[in-house]
Chains A and B, each alone.
Chain A
Amino acid sequence: MSAIPKEEYLYKCTSACAGCSSSLCLRYVLKAAGPDSVLVIPACCTSVIQGTYPGTAMSVPVYNVAFAASAACASGMSEAFAAMGRETNVIVYAGDGGTVDIGIQALSGAFERGTNFLYICYDNEAYGNTGMQRSGATPLGARTTTTPGGKPTTKKDLDRIVEAHNPPYMATACSAYPLDLYKKVKKALSIEGPKFIHVLAPCPPGWRYPTEKTVEMGKLAVKTGTWILYEREYGKLTINGPSKAAMRKPAPLEDYIRGQGRFKNVSPEILNLMRQQVQQNIERLSREEAGVC
């Protein structure tokens, strides 16, 4: 941890909810990116977390833009900096709704064009800013305010969509492993072209667990194999430390979902489907890493 700079670019006393893991992520993202960086932020929790005019909770420029527009706005900014010979990092920090749903067209366009920027999706698996409505990233069985009986369909596989654009670098991360996230942001920003990091960001009010469990919840997501930490550099897959052990012997899925109110009353059938999904995902990535396709 000694490698992580002491400088803080996200100030204390933001408007985040208690136990907010996306703020934790942002803190490490900014430490990795450093002061010559710009954040482009669509409508999402961070629109609120950054504070209200005329204040700002960050010591880097923050450009707020409309919900669907962040990747396209970042494209323009990145090209402007290129035209001016500036090497400022352009980083989109967007929620899951702004990424997998309304923003996916702009995301796809920016990656296809080879835009030089880093897109970070912090994923709390619902529209958190508006009070937890289901998004395309909400997992099977999860209750939200618009899926009161539990979501009947599975989580959109954002990573495979991004992977289909063949970016030079993409990774998954989780708020419970900040050093891993820090290293991934550092590595991403050292590479030219479109980079993508998908961070699982557990959300106490949305997932309905006590605020002090926010780190534990992220660890359980990884230990159960529900969330797998990996990197893909120029297409080559590497499974990262904590997930290697978890994939060999995942903890029981119940350990992860038991503590979350959003999965209360999940039927045995849905639970079984959830288990199957975790297993399929582990097998797919294990096969790929072993070179067996």
Chain B
Amino acid sequence: MLTIATGNKAVAAAVKAAKPGVIAAYPITPQTEIVEQIADYVAGGDLESRYIPVESEHSAMAACIGASVGGVRTFTATSSHGLLYMHEMVHWAAGARLPIVMANVNRALGPGWNIWAEHTDAFSQRDTGWLQVFVGTVQEAYDATLMAFKVAEDERVLLPLMVNLDGFALSHITQSLETVDIGDFLPPYHLPHAIDTENPLGYGPVTGPADYVRFRWDIERSMRDARGVIAEVEREFAERFGRSYGPTEDYRCEDADVIVVAMGTLGKEAEVAIDRLRDAGIKAGSMRLRWFRPFPDLDLAGREVVVIDRDYSFGFGGVVAHAIRSKTGIEPYSVIAGLGGQEVTYNDIADFVRNRRPGTETWFGVSDHV
């Protein structure tokens, strides 16, 4: 069905289609609309889920953990400080191998209070063992949320998955949305290690180094296997519903001399910048990085690269720029832009390309460049 929706409403619509058994919810701007919409679905009988209005994000993830291992599909949504408050349980969910799906509406961290888009919240959960995907449109927010359940619950993966969408820049903007009848796209929830009193097990007891190492390696093995599972699920999604996704969304990259790598809505904004640059005779392309964990292999050989980081690792540099450097050996032009919802237009992005100085870092909007 073709409709219009915000990014938040699109996530909620996908959750309704996925029919989780339990949803744990705690409000935080700019995510709140997701859990409000889901509460409406549940109250109105459009979604048969148990809705737990928890008293904190730590408890939201703890409740998802209990429900997921209890034997049902689970979902929660958060943002920014909420994500950081649940951090301990974010690690726990992955270590416990529970395919929880969470929408994270990317937002900056205080102080000072800032409710606008930034990716530092998600990147601070980088090493937890969660899969992370970043979306750029309302349609993609819906599609990625649907696919998230299928990827996470695959027995070759069995890891939690975070769908990231930019605060306000996507969560609160309205675009067209085509919802689908998912049919049997999502199989019934099946967790091989779900709690069964007929087969009583101890979950997460004290574990010595030799076994602990094997469990950690098993997470990494599943992360590696997840690349293939993601590709399978995205292919099936394209066949069933006609929309294709991959590890990156490449725009006019084939013959490009310079490629802009960005994530989320800035990755979409970059496409407009590419058209402007092409009009001016500059052979530029853009590569919107969708998957952050597992991190994809990128083909950037022989190109100059401009990386836009809507994040920063203090004392080190842009997180994505660092990833590109370590994965490809290319020294990118690292632009730190969009922090705390800073406005970055396609003209600004075109300027980043025109003024690029590979191997250096620039903070957009700060007069003293580094």
- Are chains A and B native binding partners rather than an unrelated pairing? yes
B202 close to A80 (CB less than 8 A): no
Instruction: Let me know if B84 is at the binding interface, CB within 8 A.
Output: no
Q: What is the size, in residues, of chain A's interface with B at 8 Å between Cβ atoms?
A: 47
Q: Give bound CA distance, A120 to B56, whole Å.
A: 22
9 A–B contacts from the bound complex (CB under 8 Å)? A50-B205, A54-B211, A60-B197, A61-B203, A63-B203, A73-B65, A75-B66, A78-B66, A79-B52
Give chain B nearest CB distance to A91 CB in angstroms.
12
Q: Does B204 contact A (CB under 8 A)?
A: yes
Q: Which of A72-102 contact B (CB under 8 A)?
A: 72-84, 88
Rounded to whole Å, the gap between the CB of B282 and the closest CB of chain A is 52
Contact B67 A72 (CB under 8 A): no
Q: Does B362 contact A (CB under 8 A)?
A: no
Question: Across the interface, which residues of B come within 8 angstroms of A76, CB to CB?
Answer: 22, 24, 52, 62-68, 70, 74
| Chain B 41-80 interface residues, beta-carbon cutoff 8 Å to A | 49-50, 52-56, 58-60, 62-72, 74
**Interface contact B54-A63, CB-CB below 8 Å:** no
Chain B residues positioned under 8 Å from A37 (CB to CB)? 197
Q: Is the CB of A68 within 8 A of B200?
A: no
Q: Which residues of A contact B22 (CB under 8 A)?
A: 76, 79-80, 83
Say how far A119's CB is from chain B's closest CB, in angstroms: 13
Assess whether B21 is interfacial by the CB under 8 Å rule: yes
A72 with B62, Cβ < 8 A, contacts A60-B200, A63-B195, A79-B22 known: yes
The CA-CA distance from A76 to B25 in the complex, in Å, is 11
Contact A74 B66 (CB under 8 A): yes
Q: Which residues of A contact B71 (CB under 8 A)?
A: 80-81, 84
Residues of B within 8 A of A149 (CB): none
Is A171 an interface residue when CB atoms closer than 8 A count as contact?
Answer: no
Q: Mark B88-129, 1 if CB is under 8 A from A, else 0.
A: 110010000000000000000000000000000000000000
Choose from B53, B62, B69, B203 the contact partner of A106 (Cβ within 8 Å): B62
B206 within 8 A of A: yes
- For A81, the chain B residues whose CB sits under 8 A away are 70-71
Chain B CB within 8 A of A113 CB: yes
Beyond A69-B89, A108-B55, A109-B56, whether A80 also contacts B70 by CB under 8 A is yes
List residues of chain B with CB within 8 A of the CB of A88.
195, 197
Measured between C-beta atoms, what is the minimum distance from A86 to chain B in Å? 8
Q: CB of B279 within 8 A of chain A?
A: no
A83 near B203: Cβ-Cβ < 8 Å: no
Question: Are the C-beta atoms of A66 and B89 separated by less than 8 Å?
Answer: yes
**Interface hits, A131-183 → B, CB 8 Å:** none
Bound-complex Cα distance A74 to B201 (A) = 16
What is the distance, in angstroms, from B138's C-beta to the closest C-beta of chain A?
29
- Are B69 and A77 neighbours in the complex by a CB distance under 8 Å? yes
Contacts of B315 in A (CB 8 A): none
B200 neighbours in A (Cβ, 8 Å): 35, 56, 58-62
Chain A contacts for B203, CB-based, 8 A: 61-64
Q: Is the CB of B63 within 8 A of A73?
A: yes
Besides A64-B204, A79-B52, A106-B62, 14 more A-B contacts (Cβ < 8 Å) are A55-B205, A56-B202, A61-B200, A73-B66, A74-B66, A76-B22, A76-B65, A83-B50, A84-B71, A105-B55, A105-B56, A105-B58, A105-B59, A112-B55
Please, which residues of chain A bring their CB within 8 A of the CB of B63? Answer: 72-73, 75-76, 79
The reply on A259 being an interface residue by CB < 8 A is no
Q: Are B62's CB and A47's CB within 8 A? A: no
A36 adjacent to chain B (CB < 8 Å): yes
Interchain nearest-CB distance for B229 vs A (Å)? 24
Q: Is B181 an interface residue (CB 8 A)?
A: no
Query: What is the 8 Å Cβ interface bit string for chain B, positions 175-203, against chain A (1 contact, 0 not)?
Result: 00000000000000000000111001111
Q: B3 contacts the other chain (Cβ, under 8 Å)?
A: no
- Does B242 make an interface contact (CB < 8 A)? no
Closest partner residue, chain A, to B86 (CB atom): A69
Q: Does B367 contact A (CB under 8 A)?
A: no
- Known contacts being A61-B195, A72-B58, is A48 close to B64, with CB within 8 Å? no
Q: Is B281 an interface residue (CB 8 A)?
A: no
Chain B: minimal CB distance from A29 (Å) = 15
Complex CA distance for A75 and B49, rounded to whole angstroms: 14
Provide the bound-state CA to CA distance between A65 and B93, in Å.
10
> Is A51 in contact with chain B by the CB < 8 A criterion?
yes
Query: With A76-B22, A81-B70, A109-B55 known to touch, is A66 a contact of B205 (CB < 8 Å)?
Result: no
Whether B208 sits at the interface, judged by CB under 8 Å, is: yes
Instruction: Report how far A225 CA is from B130 CA in the complex, Å.
Output: 52
A53 CB-CB contact with B under 8 Å: yes
Cβ of A7 to closest chain B Cβ, rounded Å: 13
Given A62-B202, A64-B203, A105-B59, do A77 and B211 touch, yes or no (CB 8 Å)? Answer: no
A90 to B127, CA, bound (A): 31
User: B355 on the interface (CB 8 Å rule)?
Assistant: no
A51 to B211, CA, bound (A): 14
- Counting chain B CB atoms within 10 Å of each CB, the highest count among A38, A83, A84, A113 belongs to A83
Contacting pair B205 A75 (CB below 8 A): no
* A61 x B196 contact (CB < 8 A): yes
Taking a contact as CB atoms under 8 Å apart, the answer to whether B205 and A77 are in contact is no
CB of B49, distance to nearest CB on chain A (Å): 7
Q: Is A52 on the interface with B (CB-CB < 8 A)?
A: yes
Q: How far is the CA of A105 from the CA of B62 in the complex (A)?
A: 12
Q: Which 8 A-B pairs have the closest CB atoms?
A: A80-B70, A76-B66, A109-B55, A72-B59, A76-B63, A56-B202, A76-B67, A72-B62
Contact of A53 with B205 at beta-carbon distance under 8 Å, contacts A40-B66, A76-B24 already known: yes
Evaluate contact between B197 and A77: CB separation under 8 angstroms: no
CB of B207 within 8 Å of the partner chain: yes
